[in-house]
A and B are shown apart, each in its own frame.
Chain A
């Protein structure tokens, strides 16, 4: 299993600003995943973050809007840039540490953009 923490747990931000979300894992993992969950919806994969290389973004998500850092094997950040009310969502990071695709999620960051 994996213990994952995220900071902040929630935030209320003004449009046009940026917020950086941190994700910390208690063990080294090759890949970390970032998801967005819009209100009342299921989860959508934003990008996959590998240590030592550029993140891989899913269709509809771009690096300028969601820059990701992965400085080591236990930590990653996701920045939501130039926010608008449509970015109001829960953002979650996840890992699959066991090599069998079993996924573990962080507690999420609930973002509200005014």
Chain B
């Protein structure tokens, strides 16, 4: 089946720093989403981005479908950005990455 690799697996930032999270797929997927799982376990939709670039405040995402990867940019990070970021692809079933655990220190 399709494999999803997320990098880095862990990331520690100082508040105010910028970061880039990456998601690579071993094969093409129909759709791609980015989620943030907060420390309480809730999965929050960030972007639905099968291709192209989207921005929402301090966050933006770019998916290059032809090269089977997606990037999530976090600018001016805040402590509330801490948690696990998942990319999820769709090809019939959902395909989950293992996530990037982000810790933002004050």
Q: Which residues of A contact B (CB under 8 A)?
A: 1, 33, 37, 41-43, 45, 90, 92, 100-105, 107-108, 110
Contact = CB atoms under 8 A, between A and B. Distances in A.
Contact of A104 (B31, B40, B45, B86): B45
Nearest to B84: A42
Contact of B86 (A42, A45, A100, A110): A42
Interface string B61-100: 0000000000000000000000000101010011011110
B33 A42 contact: no
Contacts of A42: 86, 96-99
Nearest to A37: B41
Interface of B: 30-31, 33, 35, 40-43, 45, 48, 86, 88, 90, 93-94, 96-99
A108 B48 contact: no
B42 A107 contact: yes
B97 to A, nearest CB: 7
Contacts of A108: 41-43
Contacts of B43: 92, 105, 108
Nearest to A105: B43
Contacts of A33: 94
Contacts of A41: 98
Given A33-B94, A45-B94, A102-B33, 18 more contacts: A1-B45, A37-B41, A42-B86, A42-B96, A42-B97, A42-B98, A45-B93, A90-B41, A101-B30, A102-B48, A103-B45, A103-B88, A103-B90, A105-B35, A105-B42, A107-B42, A108-B41, A108-B43
